[in-house]
Amino acid sequence: MSIAGLFVLVIGVILAIALHEIGHLVPAKLFGVKVPKYFIGFGPTLFSRTFRGTEYGVKAIPLGGFVQLSGMYAPAKDGVVLTNRKGQLTLAEEARRVSAEQIEPGEEEHAFYRLSVPKKLAVMFGGPFVNLLIALALSVVLLVGIGAPALLNQVGAIPACVSASECSDADPVTPAETAGLRPGDTILSWGGTPTQSWTDVQQAISSGTASPTEVTVDRDGDTISLTVTPVMLERPVVDEDGQVVLENGEELTQVLPYVGIAPAIGLERQSITAVPGYIGDMLWRTAGVIVRLPQQLWSLTTDFVTGQERDQSSIVGIIGVAQVAGQITGADIDGYSATEKTADLINLLIALNVSLFAFNMLPLLPLDGGHITGALYEGARRRWAAMRGRPDPGPADTARLMPLSYAVAGAFILMTVILIVVDIFNPITLY
Q: Kindly report, residue by residue over 126-164, the tens digit of the pLDDT.
A: 999 999 999 999 999 999 999 888 888 899 888 888 876
- In this structure, the number of other CB atoms found within 10 A of the CB of residue 162 comes to 18
245 and 302 assigned to the same domain: no
Give me the torsion for CA of 295, 277, 17, 115, rounded to 10°.
Answer: -100
417 and 337 assigned to the same domain: yes
For the chain, give the percent of residues with pLDDT over 90.
Answer: 46
| pLDDT the model gives residue 165 | 66
196 and 217 assigned to the same domain: yes
> Within a domain: residue 69?
no
| pLDDT the model gives residue 232 | 87
Q: What is the pLDDT of residues 369-380, one digit of tens each?
A: 999 999 999 999
226 and 319 assigned to the same domain: no
CATH number at residue 180: 2.30.42.10
State the average pLDDT over residues 183-203: 91
Active site residue 177: no
Average pLDDT along the chain: 88
> Within a domain: residue 79?
no
Residue 308 has pLDDT above 90, yes or no: no
| pLDDT the model gives residue 164 | 63
State the average pLDDT over residues 69-83: 85
- Owning domain of residue 180: 149-164+171-268
Q: Cα separation of 222 and 220, whole Å?
A: 6
262 and 247 assigned to the same domain: yes
Catalytic residue among 21, 93, 177, 378: 21
278 and 260 assigned to the same domain: no
248 and 280 assigned to the same domain: no
Crossing angle between the packed helical segments 318-330 and 402-425, to the nearest 10 degrees: 30
Contact by Cβ (8 Å): 158, 183? yes
State the average pLDDT over residues 333-353: 83
Please give the tally of structural domains in the chain: 2
| pLDDT the model gives residue 358 | 95
281 and 423 assigned to the same domain: yes
State the average pLDDT over residues 222-230: 92
22 and 142 assigned to the same domain: yes
Q: Cα separation of 20 and 37, whole Å?
A: 15
Residue 233 has pLDDT above 50, yes or no: yes
Residue 389 has pLDDT above 80, yes or no: yes
State the average pLDDT over residues 298-312: 86
Q: Cα separation of 128 and 131, whole Å?
A: 5
State the average pLDDT over residues 387-393: 91
Write down which residue in 268, 290, 312 finishes a domain.
Answer: 268
Q: Does 74 or 428 have the greater pLDDT score? A: 74
Residue 243 has pLDDT above 60, yes or no: yes
> Within a domain: residue 48?
no
> Within a domain: residue 186?
yes
